[in-house]
Amino acid sequence: MGKVKAAKVSQLKPKKKCCRSKNRCLRCPYVIAKMKKLEAAGVKGGDLKKQLKRVRAA
């Protein structure tokens, strides 16, 4: 998949089921839902990048 910008993660198509690995993948439904919520709240730029790291670690 290569590098994906944090702002583009919410536009990805989620997988059918979450794998729940230690570091969640970018296409995990949980990660995509959280990123959509953050973008709707107005988080941008570097803060969005930090939040992506935090969401994937959860």
What does the pLDDT profile of the chain (58 residues) look like in tens digits? Answer: 568 888 899 899 999 988 888 889 989 999 999 999 999 999 988 999 999 999 999 8
Q: How far apart are CA 26 and CA 55, in angstroms?
A: 10
Structurally, the chain folds into a number of domains equal to 1
pTM of the entire predicted model: 0.85
User: Is 33 domain-assigned?
Assistant: yes
User: Is 1 domain-assigned?
Assistant: no
User: Is 46 domain-assigned?
Assistant: yes
Size of the chain in residues: 58
Q: How far apart are CA 18 and CA 30, in angstroms?
A: 7
Full residue range of the structural domain in which residue 21 is found: 6-57
